[in-house]
Copies of this chain bind each other. A is one copy, B any other.
Amino acid sequence: MTYLDFDKTAVYGKLAALAENYSFNYAKNLDAERVRKCLVPQGGGLNYSWAAKSLDDRVIALLRELAAEQELIGKYKALLDGAIINTGENRRVLHQLLRGQLGKAVIDGGKDLGLFYREQTDRVAAFAGAVRAGTLRGATGKRFSAAVQIGIGGSDLGPRALYLALENWARAEGRAQLRAAFISNVDPDDASAVLARLPLEETLFVLVSKSGTTQETLANELFVKEKLRAAGLDPAKHVVAVTSETSPLAHNPAYLDSFYIDDFIGGRYSASSAVGGVILSLAFGPETFREFLAGAHEADALALNPELLENAALLDALIGVWERNFLRYPYTAILPYSQALSRFPAHLQQLDMESNGKRVNRDGAPLGYVTGPVVFGEPGTNGQHSFYQLLHQGTDIVPLQFLGFTESQAGDDVQVEGSSSQTKLLANLAAQIAAFARGQRAEGPNLNRDFPGGRPSSLIYGRRLGPAALGALLAHFENKVMFQGFVWNVNSFDQEGVQLGKILTKRVLQGVSGDAALDAYAALLGI
């Protein structure tokens, strides 16, 4: 395997040359045939539609060349087989293995890691089953009715987004049992507000920290334990830990139980592990979590397809590279036409920006090209009444990624003026894709109703958002980000950018800063 900076490849110059005077009126060609042709199955019943992307045959040919030259499928296979892809930390990258085996068995220190992950998933399932059945209860013998995750970053955003994504579905399917809440911020008002809404006696806390040393999470743990003790409840009967086996939280009688991950599961990639598994299994049942993993595994398998136009994650990745490095768009918007996905853009923001917001290559050498874009988004139709103004008529182009489902989750709907709300939702989605692509010219002199169009978008859609579709959706983006990292030759699996802040925070708290800027701001803030 050769790891090469992107601008050292032969195809880089060809793409740059093509982009120079590139023009392709995809909007003009956007008809039933193009829409039918530009469709790729993505797992979990989802499809990826790229008909409204600015991609002609010349671009596709070069992207295919890029995939081959940067050995993208080969690198993915190496990752699956347990190669040290996380170079800076000298670690394997095994979040796909959580969902199922696609490569060779990965043996580390004599341990079969695939087996280890499956054991943990089984332990989580048994635990959640006992809580849901009422055989495992709180300190006063009451059944648990609520579960609160205490974690931050990857231990929060992914599980929270997934919980919200399935809450309505599980209610409709009769699978919803414990309701979940989340405490993440070190701001004490976060924990205070969450606890004010819950019956402590019936609440099970899921403490999540891989290292067992995360400052925010330990502070919130103590916050919660003080409240439990004040209510006369034994914390050891109300808190489980999700951590690594080497952490101080592991095998610790202070917790009701502990579930394990290891260093090969990065925080932002950990939703498929016990980090997401415990809270989702408590809330919606272990079977729901297994269906989620199966959907993700299906998408992981499809991402092995070497044919660009049959591999949704690969194609999405390379379109993103084309837009970022050659069309020079510095951002991308995630627009789910599904209220259930209200926090999914926040998770993808972390996934993408923390993985590929890098300025050095996997060996630490500076790069001569741009890498990860800024990612943001909110659900449609809400966004239409908000920031879409800039997307339609701003001075810059923002590439768009739409998500949508033909059926609602709850099946609870109303007819107004001859159509259901679900149909209105989808009509808005179709209308926006067309409007962004084509625009509409106004006649002067007042051009405030002029829509330039030429704003490229893709669409991921399925029938109904349930666990398998959600798993495939998550895996799609994880794999997209992975492929982009391979193109850019960055390490998508470390996050050294968070370290400096941690060091400086510690200095402030220890009162030993001696750093003029830091001292000045600490004084300003009264600490």
Contacts and interface: CB of A to CB of B under 8 A. Distances in A.
Contacts of A193: 167-168, 171, 339, 410
Contact of A448 (B187, B330, B364): B364
A254 interface: no
Given A188-B412, A459-B521, 19 more contacts: A32-B516, A167-B193, A185-B379, A188-B410, A189-B410, A190-B339, A193-B410, A216-B424, A218-B416, A330-B331, A357-B394, A360-B446, A360-B448, A360-B450, A365-B447, A427-B527, A429-B521, A431-B504, A461-B524
Which of A189, A216, A445 gathers the greatest number of chain B CB atoms within 10 Å?
A189
A168 B187 CA distance: 12
A316 B270 CA distance: 39
Contacts of A375: 387
Contact of A509 (B386, B418, B432, B444): B418
Contacts of A495: 389
Interface string A486-510: 0000010011111111111101110
A512 interface: no
A439 B501 CA distance: 10
A340 to B, nearest CB: 6
A381 B418 contact: no
A372 interface: yes
A456 interface: no
A206 B72 CA distance: 53
Contacts of A218: 416
A35 interface: yes
A124 B386 CA distance: 26
A409 B466 CA distance: 38
A396 interface: yes
Contacts of A419: 509
A521 B423 contact: no
A36 B513 CA distance: 19
B384 A498 contact: yes
B354 A387 contact: yes
Given A331-B331, A427-B505, A422 B357 contact: no
A353 interface: yes
Interface stretch (A148-156, A237-245, A307-315, A477-485): A148-156
B448 A412 contact: no
A288 to B, nearest CB: 17
A435 B501 contact: yes
Interface in A415-463: 416-435, 437-440, 444-452, 459, 461
Nearest to A151: B385
Task: Give the interface size bracket for A toward B.
Answer: 35 or more
B188 A421 contact: yes
A186 interface: yes
Which of A359, A404, A521 gathers the greatest number of chain B CB atoms within 10 Å?
A521
Contact of A337 (B187, B418, B496, B523): B187
Interface string A47-63: 00101100000000000
Interface string A396-411: 1010000010101110
A417 to B, nearest CB: 8
The 3 nearest A-B residue pairs measured at CB = A357-B390, A153-B385, A364-B446
Interface stretch (A105-113, A128-136, A219-227): A219-227
A350 interface: yes
A173 interface: no
Contacts of A502: 431
Contacts of A187: 337-340, 379, 381, 408, 421-422, 425
Contacts of A339: 185, 187, 189-190, 193
Contacts of A494: 448
A406 B525 contact: yes
A349 interface: yes
Contact of A505 (B167, B389, B424, B526): B424
26 contacts: A153-B385, A186-B421, A187-B338, A187-B340, A188-B410, A188-B412, A188-B413, A188-B414, A189-B408, A189-B412, A193-B339, A219-B414, A267-B385, A357-B389, A360-B448, A363-B446, A366-B447, A374-B396, A384-B498, A391-B497, A417-B509, A423-B509, A427-B508, A430-B518, A431-B501, A440-B500
